[in-house]
């Protein structure tokens, strides 16, 4: 929701990270917008972290009245005094102060919602508990290789609102990675919507799995008959979402043929539409590992074929090596192979990694988001993982579940050796050096968020890679 250029608006921006800064830049172009920046951090800390030098200069030279700053413990105070509130994804839609403002008829929006309302380009939206970034990147690379005008943004780093305004809006294709936080308050859905999977996640923010599901469903809910929905046929809950949208439905599956969409047959990726099939690629030509990555590839191919039936796919798929922190091979040192899967912040992602790599040593744990670790513990035991390094607040939860399963099935499973004293990455690397053996696979795949011991999953993965590569240098010297 945005008022006309000649109308004055009192606007609050909740959260001044990347998305907050992007929406500020967009809205401050209208001099009739009187903006208040609201954030838990102090003004000095916020300004210090701004990477946009021009914005930094403007803020330092700005008048006392525009923008205003509302920082610290009272950052959510008096929200009812504004005309419009724009929340960042990290500020839940269900926050008490936001709910009270809505009851007072205050307009509550977000940078993603504003983008969806203002953007007149072809939008391909991608959501799912895991795989969003990889699928978005594969699709972006396919479209780029075919010399199509394409931009990428959303949850993976570039705020979508920063893509607006655009000189040639009709020519661009926007690949948008959308999290549940960004989808939560949308009333517009993308022209092509992809749903990869839905598992229990972010239940520290969402009340329950149903609220999380309903947020994800907004990617489909407001589509029309002229739009397209691409759903994972192997995921029962996702497949059932065909009832939510009037759009044309396409499926992808790594296990069974689909009527319209993408699937695997005789080790080849097949595209099928109206009973006509096209062979895309043999599986041995793909460098990405894991069943979950295969699903990501199938989803990206389906969207590409909907956009342009004659599109060339082979080179882009062959060249794509994956994203950092996702089953990323680091090095082999003294016969030990090291993999970084720090982006595995959920049990389902770690299960996929264990099934693919069959690690001997697994680094597991982190901050707790109300996830269920039973299935990942069963996978660890079935894999006969020899040793586990447990970290973070989920360490004891995982340890107890492992012990309970083994005690119940003593003849079936053997408890791995558990190391749970590491307080930082240096401790983790030291423990690995003590317990690893030639021909081992060592895997960081935490099944948990990173907050606490690390800034985020990127920091966790980078610290792990740095520690391993430093060990490589020691071996050389």
* Angle, CA 133 vertex, CA 127 and CA 138 arms, to 5°: 105
How far is Cα 116 from Cα 114, in angstroms, rounded to an integer? 5
Q: Which domain holds residue 253?
A: 119-319
How far is Cα 173 from Cα 152, in angstroms, rounded to an integer? 9
How far is Cα 297 from Cα 139, in angstroms, rounded to an integer? 8
Average pLDDT of the chain is: 92
Q: How far is CA 78 from CA 69, 85, 100, 249, 475, in A?
A: 13, 11, 10, 45, 60
Last residue of a domain, one of 69, 94, 111: 111
Prior bond of 323 cis (ω within 30°): no
The verdict on 156 and 262 lying in the same domain is yes
Read off the pLDDT of each residue in 19-36 and give the average, rounded to a whole number.
91
The verdict on 100 and 177 lying in the same domain is no
Q: Which pLDDT band holds residue 206 (cuts at 50, 70, 90)?
A: low
pLDDT tens-digit profile of 343-373?
Answer: 999 898 999 999 999 999 999 999 987 889 9
The verdict on 247 and 367 lying in the same domain is no
Q: Which pLDDT band holds residue 207 (cuts at 50, 70, 90)?
A: low
pLDDT at 191 over 60: yes
pLDDT tens-digit profile of 266-282?
Answer: 999 999 999 999 999 99
Read off the pLDDT of each residue in 253-258 and give the average, rounded to a whole number.
97
Greatest C-alpha distance within the chain: 76
The verdict on 229 and 148 lying in the same domain is yes
**Among residues 111, 108, 123, which one has the least CA distance to residue 25?**
111
Q: Which pLDDT band holds residue 165 (cuts at 50, 70, 90)?
A: low
The verdict on 213 and 271 lying in the same domain is yes
How far is Cα 314 from Cα 308, in angstroms, rounded to an integer? 14
**Among residues 161, 4, 153, which one has the least CA distance to residue 84?**
4
Q: Would residue 2 count as lying in a domain?
A: no
Last residue of a domain, one of 92, 111, 130: 111
The verdict on 342 and 413 lying in the same domain is yes
pLDDT tens-digit profile of 84-131?
Answer: 999 998 898 889 999 999 999 999 999 999 999 999 899 999 999 999
Q: Would residue 18 count as lying in a domain?
A: yes
The verdict on 237 and 379 lying in the same domain is no
CATH number for the domain that contains residue 71: 3.40.50.720
Tally the domains of the chain: 3
CATH number for the domain that contains residue 220: 3.40.1190.10
Read off the pLDDT of each residue in 240-250 and give the average, rounded to a whole number.
98
Q: Would residue 1 count as lying in a domain?
A: no
Last residue of a domain, one of 111, 138, 163: 111
Q: Would residue 168 count as lying in a domain?
A: yes
């Amino acid at each position: 929701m945005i008022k006309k250029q000649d109308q004055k608006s009192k606007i609050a921006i909740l959260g001044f990270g990347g998305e907050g800064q992007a929406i500020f830049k967009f809205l401050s172009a209208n001099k009739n917008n009187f903006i208040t920046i609201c954030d838990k951090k102090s003004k000095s800390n916020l300004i210090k972290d701004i990477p946009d030098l021009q914005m930094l200069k403007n803020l330092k030279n700005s008048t006392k009245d525009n923008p205003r700053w509302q920082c610290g413990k009272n950052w959510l105070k008096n929200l009812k005094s504004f005309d419009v509130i724009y929340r960042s994804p990290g500020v839940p839609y269900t926050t008490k102060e936001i709910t009270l403002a809505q009851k007072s008829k205050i307009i509550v929006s977000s940078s993603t919602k504003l983008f969806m309302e203002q953007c007149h380009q072809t939008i391909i939206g991608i959501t799912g508990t895991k795989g969003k970034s990889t699928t978005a990147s594969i699709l972006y690379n396919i479209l780029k290789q075919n010399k199509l005008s394409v931009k990428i943004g959303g949850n993976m780093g570039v705020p979508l609102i920063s893509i607006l305004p655009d000189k040639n809006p009709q020519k661009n294709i926007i690949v948008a990675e959308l999290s549940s936080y960004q989808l939560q308050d949308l009333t517009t859905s993308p022209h092509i919507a992809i749903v990869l999977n839905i598992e229990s996640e972010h239940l520290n923010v969402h009340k329950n799995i149903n609220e999380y599901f309903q947020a994800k469903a907004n990617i489909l809910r407001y589509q029309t008959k002229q739009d397209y929905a691409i759903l994972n046929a192997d995921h029962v809950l996702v497949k059932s979402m065909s009832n939510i949208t009037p759009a044309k439905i396409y499926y992808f599956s790594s296990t069974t043929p689909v009527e319209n969409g993408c699937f695997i047959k005789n080790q080849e990726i097949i595209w099928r539409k109206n009973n006509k099939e096209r062979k895309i690629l043999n599986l041995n030509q793909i460098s990405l590992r894991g069943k979950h990555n295969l699903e990501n590839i199938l989803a990206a191919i389906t969207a590409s074929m909907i956009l342009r039936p004659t599109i060339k796919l082979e080179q882009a798929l062959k060249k794509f090596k994956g994203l950092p922190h996702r089953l990323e091979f680091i090095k082999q040192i003294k016969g030990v192979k090291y993999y970084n899967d720090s982006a595995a912040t959920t049990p389902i992602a770690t299960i996929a990694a264990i099934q693919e790599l069959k690690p001997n040593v697994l680094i597991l744990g982190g901050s707790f988001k109300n996830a269920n670790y039973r299935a990942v513990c069963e996978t660890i035991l079935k894999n006969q993982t020899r040793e586990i390094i447990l970290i973070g607040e989920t360490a004891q939860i995982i340890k107890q579940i492992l012990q309970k399963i083994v005690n119940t099935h003593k003849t079936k499973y053997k408890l791995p050796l558990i190391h749970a004293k590491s307080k930082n990455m240096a401790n983790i690397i030291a423990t690995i050096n003590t317990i690893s053996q030639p021909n081992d696979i060592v895997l960081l795949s935490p099944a948990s968020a990173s907050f606490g011991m690390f800034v985020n999953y990127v920091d966790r993965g980078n610290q792990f890679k740095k520690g391993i590569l430093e060990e490589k240098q020691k071996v050389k010297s």
